Amino acid sequence: MEVAIRCSVACLLFGFVSLAWAGPEMSSAPMPLTPLDGSGSGAVALATSDYILGPSDLLQIDIFQVDELSGTERINAAGYIKMPLIGLVKLAGLSREQSEDLITELYAEGYLQDPQVNIDIMEYVSHQITVLGHVTNPGVYPLKGKTTLLQALAMAGDAGALANEEEVVVFRSDSTGAVVGYVVNLEAVLAGATVDPEIIGNDKVVVPVSGSKSFIQGITNTLRGFVGFATF
């Protein structure tokens, strides 16, 4: 079993080598994951304002002091929502702030005086994450709202009894498209010694088997010229 899982992790890591070789140069000094509470020095976690809306995302749209125009809307397959008075509005491909500005502009054109629009993303259905390694149900899962590492692992049935919880790896593409591996000590997160980091769309979480530390270290050293590793 351990050999099989080690092979799976190796295949995943070497898959990222292929991606790195074909893509932009990898960063040797990646930033840490941004914690759920927004603290820390990292800036790679996807902020709500940076998130690009897509089909099936669920939005709470509030027009200040105009309750009859406020409500929950899900983006349809074509990328549109339907709003009172202004009708269909295409939001797919826009950020939250851009969507707020667009709806504000449309309501200001003869409907409301100085409208104030606020959008909260309730479900990030158009983005997915992958959880692999020693978990109960490895696979691809949709993001529904802000999701932490512990919540992502819970989707996959949590880490197995033989999991190495000190070296959970989160693979993420940075702003240049380079893939970076972040090592997270899950035991420290569970003990409250480290903030539970936020997981964002297209992240790949790998839970290694206990006893494979030297194996992971060997792969890490081999790939260090291609994939940057950081400890959260």
pLDDT of residue 230: 53
Three-class SS of residue 81? strand
20 CB-side CA count, 13 A: 22
Instruction: Quickly name the fold that domain 58-123 has.
Output: wza like fold (3.30.1950)
pTM over 0.85: no
What's the chain's average pLDDT?
75
pLDDT tens track of the chain, all 232 residues? Answer: 443 434 444 444 434 333 333 333 333 333 344 333 334 333 333 344 457 888 989 999 999 999 999 999 999 999 999 999 999 999 999 988 999 999 999 999 989 999 999 999 888 777 889 999 989 999 999 887 778 899 999 999 988 778 888 888 888 876 677 778 888 888 888 999 888 888 888 889 999 887 754 455 555 554 444 445 455 5
Contact 69/82 with Cβ under 8 angstroms? no
CB atoms within 10 A of CB 110: 9
Residue ranges covered by each domain of the chain: 2-47+127-231, 58-123
Helix, strand or coil, per DSSP, at residue 182: strand
Instruction: Give the model's pLDDT for residue 217.
Output: 54
What's the confidence (pLDDT) of residue 128?
A: 86
Architecture label for domain 2-47+127-231: Roll (3.10)
What is the model's pLDDT at position 35? 36
Structure confidence by residue, pLDDT tens digits, 158-201: 887 788 888 888 888 766 777 788 888 888 889 998 888 888 88
Confidence (pLDDT) at 232:
53
With CA atoms as reference, report the closest residue to 204 among 12, 1, 10, 55: 12
35 contacts 198 by C-beta, under 8 angstroms: yes
Token pair of 90 as six digits = 């295409």
pLDDT, residue 109, reads 94
DSSP code at position 163: B
Taking the CA atoms of residue 180, residue 183, residue 186 and residue 189 in that order, the dihedral angle to the nearest 10 degrees is -80
Q: Which among 44, 23, 25, 65 has a CA at the least distance from the CA of 172?
A: 44
Residues 6+ apart with CB under 8 A from 113: none
Distances 138 to 1, 67, 133, 145 between C-alpha atoms, Å: 15, 42, 7, 20
Could you give the count of Cα atoms lying within 13 Å of 211 in the half-sphere of its Cβ? 8
CA 96 – CA 34 distance, rounded (Å): 19
Give exposure, 72-107, as e/b (b: 16+ Cβ within 10 Å): ebebeeebbbebeebeebebbebbbeebbebbbebb
